[in-house]
Structure 1
């Protein structure tokens, strides 16, 4: 695994807001762009979007990062098709979470609560809509040290197209996880030496979190009133950075995950020689993940590509940076912060949403998706790679 890539994401500044910190320079003061509150693009689907949060406790295991905590507590955000656009728009994050993120990154020049003012498109606790067992479920896992909210844009998009989406805050792996009683867990895992054993432990723990959340959403004692809408035979997982690497680990550990998507994350625990036959999509930066470009992060994709025995695609995006694939790029650009990407944030967001949804539509709804089979004139920044010949077109 390219550990430097993940270490560069340990603070908000490095992978979220400032290119300078990512290459070892000091954090710069930030000008407040237009002065207006940041916002997420509107979803493109026909459904209004609702959202709610779940506080789940796995009493069968202690916390992997704070062993004196005898149970693994998780906060999960759900997005889903709503019966009607009613109620208040959901808050993106709390003022405290915004403050911790910005302070962790050394960001100045913007109000510390600015991220809590981000305009979302989902309605808090709106009534779910859909047929019983009629909706596919997509689990989202964020990058290391990043809260689940950084994948809200993708989640809202998928929910507007008829998916239920569950984004997990992997407790003590994020700079801030807020529980219903007001407690805020910070990133204990950030203080652990980041050797090979650490990364193995990280993705293994995330796989356990995913399986537990699936149990809680699809089991006989489901913890959400809308859980009856989930089709347990149509489950996918997508993640960014180490969250993407964890998609592989989760698929190996849990056969319920039928489709995997790794967004710009070098993989960790190798796929065994027996292979993985379920569909898998790699989507990453052209500068980092072009096949045949040498060792490091791309070598992990090349290793696992050979052992993916089912449907698979390898796509790279020209001009993107690591943060381009999440809300981070969108919000940073609106706040006047340069993350070093040549590709505009709105365009990067459209690409992530469109190609993720295409993969899910193909494999969970069996709808043909020509977008995944050849280069697209609409998205010339996306290159379809053939690792066997080290070419991308």
Structure 2
């Protein structure tokens, strides 16, 4: 395990994590007879979803969080419409190693999440490992997660987009993500809620470079024959939304983008004229800064009411289940995703995001009729 101190970030040793978990253990969690297994909602499209994970190494740049290594490692998960999923197992949201660490990191990364009582490793996605891809070449979407989040916390929206015919690439940003299992080892980071400007600049610059590097490498992957790399888009949540918009402005290969409540005050974006959709919630405590940073930018906007910042990640469905089990308080739930039923907000994000990318990056093959199913 490598530790990389930097202003505005905390790297945490396992012993300290275990001590924190002990002190944060709630009475409800202590009484739980069996750990809760969070579940994710099924995608809505006509196609089953395949999933593959790749480790990529960029030898052209140094990792800014680990100076002197001479390389930057990035993990990606690719979701795609599958021809069949019969005989292919569903992928867990986290590897066993990642789940072990997130169980310890969760209340530090997202205060309000429980320190015990959850089996994070048992949560399954609806992506089937190594299932064969549906024939045809399809638009590609890159996803950058929220600051401090791991890539597969964006599974719910990504699976939905894949089930409707797109290929979605979830990208981890080591040194920023809470935990990433890399070929070289596990990287752990607890990002402070409001990183200082220097750290935020490094985060966004690194994420934009990661996005562009992944785009460079997609043509060499085993799934490349299924990808139409002439039609690519980008979306992201929070810091990932910031990075997505900056990547969209910087890279001509990207056609359209979606910003899920990310600040845009890092650099002027007046020259960006590519299609952009932006979401925000009415509960976000950074709303004033957000609106100032969005002022004058030509983009379609969507407001989600009764919601808060982490509604855009899988917390939208994980947190209510934990609250129902007595592991998350109503106050913590409201501060994470809002007090309202998340179903309507998640449905709106899925529907509006699908429609936006359908307009600007249409799928060439008509969708099959009926709901998707394991075939």
Shorter-chain TM-score: what band?
A: 0.7 to 0.9
> 1:355 offset after TM fit, Å?
1.3
Output the TM-score relative to the length of structure 1: 0.76
> 1:191 offset after TM fit, Å?
7.7
2:259 to 257, 262, 274: 262
- 1:269-297 deviation line (CA, Å, top 9, x unaligned): 23344x2111001101024499xx8x422
1:277 to 273, 280, 284: 273
Matched residue, 2:188? 186
Contact (CA 8 Å) 1:30, 1:108: kept in 2 or not?
no
Does residue 1:124 correspond to 2:125, yes or no?
no
Contact (CA 8 Å) 2:9, 2:189: kept in 1 or not?
no
Matched residue, 2:169? 166
Contact (CA 8 Å) 1:80, 1:160: kept in 2 or not?
yes
Q: Any residues of structure 2 matched to 1:141-220 within 5 Å, and which?
A: 141-180=144-183, 183-187=185-189, 190=191, 194-218=195-219
1:296 to 286, 289, 292: 289
The CA RMSD measured in Å over matched residues stands at 2.9
Contact (CA 8 Å) 1:10, 1:144: kept in 2 or not?
no
- 1:223-277 deviation line (CA, Å, top 9, x unaligned): x21212211221111101100011111012211111111102222423344x211
Aligned length: 328
Q: Structure 1's 93 and 76: CA in aligned 2 closer, same or farther, altered over 3 A?
A: same
Distance 1:162 1:62 in 2: 36
- 1:287-332 deviation line (CA, Å, top 9, x unaligned): 4499xx8x42221112xxx243xxx201110001111111012111
Q: What 5-or-longer segments of structure 1 have no aligned partner?
A: 1-6, 12-25, 368-393
Matched residue, 1:93? 94
Distance 1:33 1:282 in 2: 42
Does residue 1:44 correspond to 2:44, yes or no?
yes
Of residues 98-107 and 279-288 in structure 1, the stretch that sits farther from structure 2 once superposed is: 98-107
Matched residue, 1:104? 105
Distance 2:133 2:92 in 1: 18
Output the TM-score relative to the length of structure 2: 0.80
1:236 to 233, 238, 245: 233
Contact (CA 8 Å) 2:139, 2:229: kept in 1 or not?
yes
Of residues 88-97 and 43-52 in structure 1, the stretch that sits farther from structure 2 once superposed is: 88-97
Contact (CA 8 Å) 2:36, 2:117: kept in 1 or not?
no
Q: Which runs of 4 or more aligned residues in structure 1 lie more than 4 Å from their structure 2 counterparts after TM superposition?
A: 7-11, 26-36
Matched position secondary structure for 1:225: coil
Matched residue, 1:351? 348
Matched position secondary structure for 1:83: coil
Distance 1:283 1:10 in 2: 29
Q: Any residues of structure 2 matched to 1:54-73 within 5 Å, and which?
A: 54-73=54-73
Does residue 1:245 correspond to 2:242, yes or no?
yes
Q: Structure 1's 142 and 319: CA in aligned 2 closer, same or farther, altered over 3 A?
A: same
Matched residue, 1:379? none
